[in-house]
Structure 1
Amino acid sequence: MTRFLRTTRTVVRRLRGASRRQLAGLVIGLLVAAGVAVSSGAGQAALATGLLALLLAAVLAGVIHLSRRMARLHRSNQEAVRELRGTVDQLQRRVIAAVEKERLAAGDRHLELTEALARTERLTARGAEVLLHEQSREIEAMFQLFRAVTPRAPMPAGGVLHPTDLLGLVHLARERRPGLTVTLGCGPSTVWLGYAVGVSGGRLVAVEHDENRAIRVRAKVAEHGLSGVEVRHVPLAELSVDGRSADWYDVDALDGLSDIDLLLVDGTLTPAATDPLAPALHVLGRRLAPAAAVVVDDEPARVAPRQGGGFGLTVRRRLPGRWTALTHPQATASTVG
């Protein structure tokens, strides 16, 4: 009984998963089988034989239909296998081509790296020699600085300026002995220049737009007792030069600066860093002394003939470090720094 119930449940589950066409065929087959049984029991052999023949014909037709369906399914599977095989072959060829391309590229990179290493090995000795030479030059400049200046307090670090840069400024100031020196921007160079101009009793005015920096440098100046150095905080204002506007020092705060013997324009400290010389000469060019010198760093010095020509500053002199001095051609040899 238990086995019968289990079999019945299995049949019911399978019938639930059958399609409508399958259920209809099953019902028709059961009805024909029932008709055969009833006809046979009623003694109607001819009818029973006919129904049985019909049932056999239906079964044969189902088998033929099933075989055709299985043949179509087999052909579809074969086509799918062929397509899959073609896809796999194509993917394999692509993978092989990509691997070969990467192998060739890796070989090229290896060759380039080998050549670069060879060049590096050839240049290492030269680079070390150049670096050693630069370090030696900076050390020599530092010794010369302290021979030229006797500080009364610890000197500030050079910041962006190297000892050779500071040496060029100190040497120029001691050589020209300016009465009034104006620097646009202040920093450690202000202290060094303060000592240099103080030897001849000169005066140094450092113009600075950053109030905090001005306060720090002013404290350093007081620490060294440089009474001839003034650190003037000048805020920024809009200035028009050749039809172009730029943020520069407030011109009204620069009153009183005249007969300037030495003007230092450092592009790293002034507001108009892209072209610092143009606004400086626009405002202070007419306040320069006849034999004045304008010191600029290398970048603005490239356009100095155009900007300084209106004030006669057409003579260049390359100073130690990053500086170039621009002076008037009629200045005497003793004053052309």
Structure 2
Amino acid sequence: MDHTDDPETVVGELTAVRSELAQLRREVAELRSDRAAGLGEARDELQTQFTALERSLQRHTTGTSHNTVRQVEAMWQLFPKVPRIRAQMPPSGGFPMEARTLLHLSSVIEEVRPRTILELGGGTSTIWTGYLTEELGTRIVSIDHLEQYLHSTWDYVQRHGFADRTECRLAPLEPVTVDGEEYPWYSLSAFSDLADVDLLVVDGPPESTGAKARYPALPLLQDKLSAGAVVVLDDTNRPDERAILEDWARMLAGYAETDQGLSKLGVLRPQASGGAERL
């Protein structure tokens, strides 16, 4: 007799097969459940990321729109200050000074009425400064560390007719030591003949050149300032520049920051009496 045909054996084998099939069904169901749960978690994570990105984009769009309106408003206030523009103006914003900062700078110039302005980092601000000081006959010395920036600024200076009282000087970055720290900063030979600077405008070197890149300006140029000179620093919305301005305020006896919140420009003015005396 062939045992494979034995009913009991066949029933046993069928039972075993059914058990295996049931186990396979359970495993498949578990896999489907796990997959569904994983897909649900992935979907929830993607939804969370999408919502966060959407909100970030909304904030950015709103902030950009508000900033654009503020820049346009500033430009509308700025142009009437220079009614006789002789050539196309250089662009503002981005690396050049933005309109709100230029408007703020114009107010400082109107108050100080400087005879000599020293500008670290020229360009758009150089041309606006030229127009804003035209009636004063102010001497403007603009410093750049790269020839391409210097040539661009000088080209604008010539086209706008300020070459007779504006100097564009090349000062490559060199190592200088200030308060025991080394910085890449403008060649000191570019400042050797300067004196009685009434307004120091610091908009360079770029932050990409190193930490607190603009800090050496006041320690190294303080003896070039006139009594009662005003010092301004651009980009004080950034942590490094904010720290630099606070360091400078402590360095200058009788000076304090003014005009806070008007623009990215930080302004140090002498309070009451006294000039730029070192503490």
TM-score (norm 1): 0.64
- Rg larger in 1 or in 2? 1
- Give unmatched runs, 5+ long, in structure 1: 1-62, 68-74, 333-337
Name 2:90's counterpart in structure 1.
Answer: 156
Name whichever of 232-241 and 94-103 sits farther off.
94-103
1:224-303 to 2 correspondences below 5 Å: 224-226=160-162, 227-267=164-204, 269=206, 272=209, 274-296=211-233, 297-298=235-236, 299=238, 300-303=241-244
How far did 1:138 drift? 2.6
Is residue 154 of structure 2 the alignment partner of residue 218 of structure 1? yes
How far did 1:269 drift? 4.0
- 1:283–1:303: structure 2 CA closer, same or farther, 3 Å change rule? closer
More helix, by proportion: 1
More strand, by proportion: 2
How far did 1:108 drift? 7.8
Distance in 1 separating the partners of 2:273 and 2:42: 65
TM-score (norm 2): 0.76
Name 1:315's counterpart in structure 2.
Answer: 256
Distance in 2 separating the partners of 1:219 and 1:104: 60
1:265-298 residue CA offsets vs partner (Å, 9 max, x unmatched): 1257477563144211121122211201110131
| Higher RCO (Cα < 8 Å, 6 or more apart) | 2
Q: Kindly, what percent of the aligned residue pairs are identical?
A: 27
Is residue 110 of structure 2 the alignment partner of residue 174 of structure 1? yes
SS at match of 1:200: coil
SS at match of 2:216: helix
- Give unmatched runs, 5+ long, in structure 2: 5-11, 275-279
Kindly tell me the number of residue pairs found equivalent between the two proteins.
261
- 1:107–1:271: structure 2 CA closer, same or farther, 3 Å change rule? closer
Contact 1:208 1:232 (C-alpha < 8 Å) held by counterparts: yes
1:129-175 residue CA offsets vs partner (Å, 9 max, x unmatched): x7665444333322222211121212111142322111111221122
Distance in 1 separating the partners of 2:31 and 2:107: 71
Contact 1:205 1:231 (C-alpha < 8 Å) held by counterparts: yes
How far did 1:82 drift? 5.9
Distance in 2 separating the partners of 1:185 and 1:178: 18
Distance in 2 separating the partners of 1:301 and 1:110: 38
Contact 1:265 1:276 (C-alpha < 8 Å) held by counterparts: no
Q: CA RMSD in A?
A: 3.9
1:1-337 to 2 correspondences below 5 Å: 86=23, 89-103=26-40, 106=43, 134-149=67-82, 150-160=84-94, 161-226=97-162, 227-267=164-204, 269=206, 272=209, 274-296=211-233, 297-298=235-236, 299=238, 300-312=241-253, 314-318=255-259, 320-331=262-273
1:77-125 residue CA offsets vs partner (Å, 9 max, x unmatched): 99799667645532431321331353366468669978998x89xx89x
